[in-house]
């Protein structure tokens, strides 16, 4: 069995997430369908990281297990991308000398985009959350400092995830950058819970526009059993990168 790494990029607008679901258009489903037309023998495909409905991605990794060898990877990549739809492309493909444990992620980086203006955005509308109310960058950073100091993010995930009884412990970093009306929130961490990042963005924004005070934020963190606000729109979230300690090519 030969093992290949596929670096995948996609616009999440018309996908019901990355993980395959019967009768729904997913990243994994579309990619498997195209690979089945190009590969003559049996194969298996697994994504390293899952993304929710509507979430975009510049760098996800899919592991391809194939019974035969793909002899010309450059030509294969060209054929693959020619058949794939415009909203899904494979940026790289390379053969692995040895399989690696997908759970041993060093860290992942996500970016959330906000357009903060009373006027509608004319650019990048598919990739950001337009917020009319004035955001306080000072409050945004203060709230982020409190949030990123937490070790348990039970308050930031869904009730369905809580029911699975999986661990809700995480360690994350949050950074910001602002260019004119555009605000980028960068999340870095090894593990993220279901809908956690969109929920955290929603929480941070509510603090930054004055709907939730810092004291109320602290109470939410200590008392909520799961997230109770409306999550931030999926279209503003992008998976930027997944980093492993070392992958043997």
Residue 63 is part of a domain; what is its CATH number? 3.30.70.580
My answer on whether 6 and 69 are in the same domain is yes
The whole-number average pLDDT for the span 45-49 is 92
Measured CA to CA, the distance from residue 15 to residue 86 in angstroms comes to 12
My answer on whether 88 and 172 are in the same domain is no
Confidence check: pLDDT of 43 > 80: yes
Q: Contact 93/73 with Cβ under 8 angstroms?
A: yes
Confidence check: pLDDT of 167 > 80: yes
Measured CA to CA, the distance from residue 7 to residue 83 in angstroms comes to 16
My answer on whether 128 and 47 are in the same domain is no
Confidence check: pLDDT of 100 > 80: no
Q: What is the pLDDT of residues 2-38, one digit of tens each?
A: 999 999 999 999 999 999 988 899 999 999 999 999 9
Q: What is the pLDDT of residues 196-227, one digit of tens each?
A: 999 999 999 999 999 999 999 999 999 999 99
Nearest to 19 by CA among 10, 11, 28: 28
My answer on whether 210 and 142 are in the same domain is yes
The whole-number average pLDDT for the span 72-96 is 96
Number of domain units in the chain: 2
pLDDT of residue 249: 67
Helices (H), the chain: 27-38, 73-83, 137-148, 159-163, 196-208, 214-223
- Residue 99's pLDDT band (cuts 50, 70, 90): confident
Residue 231 is part of a domain; what is its CATH number? 3.30.70.660
Give the active site residues. 52
Within a domain: residue 248?
no
Where in the sequence is the domain holding 45, given as residue range(s)? 2-103
For the four alpha carbons of 6, 80, 31 and 43, in that order, the dihedral sign comes to negative
Residue that is last in its domain, among 71, 103, 135: 103
HSE toward the beta carbon, residue 137, CA cutoff 13 A = 14
Q: What is the pLDDT of residues 50-68, one digit of tens each?
A: 999 999 999 999 999 999 9
Measured CA to CA, the distance from residue 43 to residue 2 in angstroms comes to 9
The whole-number average pLDDT for the span 69-82 is 96
């Amino acid at each position: 069995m030969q093992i290949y790494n596929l670096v995948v990029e996609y616009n999440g607008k018309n996908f019901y997430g990355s993980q395959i679901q019967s009768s729904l258009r997913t990243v994994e489903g579309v990619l498997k369908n195209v690979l089945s037309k190009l590969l003559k023998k049996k194969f298996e495909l697994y994504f390293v990281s899952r993304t929710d409905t509507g979430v975009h991605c510049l760098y996800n990794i899919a592991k391809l297990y194939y019974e035969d060898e793909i002899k010309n990877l450059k030509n294969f990549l060209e054929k693959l991308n020619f058949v794939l739809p415009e909203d899904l492309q494979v940026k790289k493909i390379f053969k692995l000398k040895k399989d690696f444990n997908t759970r041993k992620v060093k860290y992942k980086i996500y970016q959330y985009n906000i357009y903060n203006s009373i006027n509608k955005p004319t650019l990048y509308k598919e990739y950001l959350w337009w917020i009319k109310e004035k955001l306080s960058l000072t409050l945004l950073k203060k709230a982020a400092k409190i949030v990123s100091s937490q070790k348990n993010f039970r308050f930031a995930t869904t009730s369905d995830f809580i029911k699975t009884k999986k661990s809700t412990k995480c360690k994350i970093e949050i950074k910001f950058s602002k260019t004119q009306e555009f605000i980028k929130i960068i999340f870095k961490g090894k593990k993220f819970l279901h809908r956690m990042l969109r929920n955290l963005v929603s929480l941070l924004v509510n603090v930054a526009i004055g709907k939730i005070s810092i004291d109320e934020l602290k109470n939410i963190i200590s008392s909520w059993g799961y997230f109770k606000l409306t999550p931030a729109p999926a279209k503003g979230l992008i998976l930027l990168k997944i980093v492993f300690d070392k992958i043997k090519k």
